[in-house]
Amino acid sequence: MGIEFDVLYWFQSMHNPVLDAIMVFFTKLGDAGLVWIALALVLTFTKKYRKAGITMMFALILSLIFCNGFMKNFVARPRPYW
């Protein structure tokens, strides 16, 4: 087994009610990228940060195409890993 399993098992060994609640919160925060999409939209509609917002939207679209469209199918590892 590679180092990735050692890291995975280390994270899985850190269970307690406080950490579990914090990690569930952060996991849900990233679901479907809603936080990043909202931030990109806010930046796009702000004159001072418009260029950063457009760049962020472009990066999100590229990530969607490359990671979800190509890499997940190429690697095809079942998740969660058991």
Note the pLDDT tens digit of each residue in 25-36: 888 887 888 889
pTM (global) more than 0.75? no
Which residue has better confidence, 8 or 38? 38
Beta carbons within 8 Å of 52's beta carbon, 6+ residues apart: 43
- For residues 80 and 67, the answer to whether their CB atoms sit within 8 Å is no
Range with the lowest mean pLDDT among 14-18, 26-30, 63-67? 26-30
